[in-house]
Amino acid sequence: MKIVFFGTPQFAVPTLEALLKSNSFEVAAVVTQPDKRRGRGNELSPSPIKAIALSHEIPVLQPKSIKKDVEGLEYLRSLNADAFVVVAYGQILSQEILDMPRLGCVNVHGSILPKYRGAAPIQWCLYHGEAETGITTMLMDAGMDTGAMLLIAKTAIAPFDSAHDLAVRLSTIGADLLVETLLKFPEITPIPQDNEQATYAPLIKKPDYELDWSRSAIELHNQIRGFYPNCNTQFRGTGLKVMQTIPLEGEFLNEFEELRALNLPTGTPGEVVEIVKNWGAVIQTGAGALLLKEVQLAGKRAQSGWEFANGMRITIGEKL
């Protein structure tokens, strides 16, 4: 089966590698986003997908807009591909592109559709405290993740999974499911999505990262792990990223016997109500308390909650 692969970030790499390892597929070309400037040197760097493609001497296309790239479109048409595979590519495909491959365009989407259509399904499912998510392969149409579903694979979400943890797991699940989908393609009956059950996962914006301590401990914990590692607050007039937390209640304490024994005072939202030796500062929220497990002060390296509390000599009563 001749494939053209559309993808950009690390999340897409396992799927491309799975196609390359299989004798059932020929990856004729890769389409990825243009190189971006990264790092302190601000040097142009290829996407993870481009790096894999170049290492296998696969032709790479990097148009700013694939829909408007006349030469690129002509090249894609000339390949006479059986299928286009799309994994977190980052651009909308036109109907002209969707109609090119013989079998159609197959998308690997990081949710159980029709829930969490859109650009950031992994992040928003964590934000909303879901207990389960998965991968859906689907036939693409002109809508935003609205195409008929092919196969679904599910996975449970653990209480301390971050967006990074979940993305790594889902990327390998997606690779396996995509290969299974293509191999079983003639036998699969596409299932239309129920649009009435659809929810959306839009691009994450700067205000989404800001922590509001009047929210509950569990809501804040889900925001922090969902938008890992970028949620932020202020401490002593300086920006502070909060990267990992432990809500001091319920199932979250199952593996932390020492924390279960705490007898915490209450305070106002954002107030430090306790310093737990070898653990860190405990913050009062709108409902419940939240222990800071990993943080990063602006301009500094990430550090454990205890390193932060001890090094900054944080006192009870201070506020975030």
Query: Residue ranges for the binding site for (6S)-5,6,7,8-tetrahydrofolate?
Result: 111-114
The span from the CA of 107 to the CA of 117, in Å, is 12
Contact 296, 231 (CB under 8 A): no
Which residues 6+ apart lie within 8 Å of 188 measured at CB?
Answer: 150, 151, 181
- Is residue 154 within 8 A of residue 136, CB to CB? The reply is no
Spatial neighbors of 127 by CB under 8 A, at least 6 apart, are 222, 223, 226, 227
CA torsion angle for 84, 89, 92, 93 (degrees, to 10)? -20
Q: Quick check: 34 and 191 in contact, CB under 8 A?
A: no
CB 7, CB 88: distance < 8 Å:
yes
Annotated binding-site positions? 111-114
